[in-house]
């Protein structure tokens, strides 16, 4: 496939490398990125865009989140138009937090609901 003039122009324009690293995240997840020291790549037109994307990525990765699977012996009502959240309390797992529902599986035969929480 031949290169278009716009592709050639994009390849020839000056480039910059923006790198950002969070020591706390790196210490918490030492084997992340398959034990690779290579940074993840992203391509942006402006340095500010790259820095914004890096900050958002660190915010997502830096927060500790956990996933839980819960079976409820009842039918779970679902409200249309809202992101379902529930307060999950489990002393054994050490959790007492508002969690986002990421998966709902309704078992009509057994009259129970399997819910996956993330938060």
Domain range summary for the chain, segments of one domain joined by +:
5-62, 67-118
pLDDT computed for residue 8 by the predictor: 82
pLDDT computed for residue 96 by the predictor: 92
The answer on pLDDT for 83 being more than 80 is no
pLDDT of 39-65, one tens digit each? 777 788 888 988 888 888 877 777 778
Dist CA 65 CA 115 (whole Å): 16
């Amino acid at each position: 496939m031949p290169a278009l003039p716009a592709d050639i122009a994009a390849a020839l324009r000056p480039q910059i490398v923006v790198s950002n690293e969070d020591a706390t995240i790196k210490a918490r997840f030492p084997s992340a990125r398959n034990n690779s020291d290579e940074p993840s790549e992203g391509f942006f037109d402006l340095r500010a865009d790259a820095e914004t994307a890096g900050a958002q990525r660190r915010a997502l990765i830096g927060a500790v989140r956990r996933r839980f699977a819960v079976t409820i012996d009842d039918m779970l009502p679902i409200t249309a138009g809202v992101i379902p959240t529930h307060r999950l309390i489990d002393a054994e797992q050490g959790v007492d937090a508002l969690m986002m529902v990421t998966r709902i599986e309704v078992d009509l035969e057994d009259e129970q609901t399997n819910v996956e929480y993330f938060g």
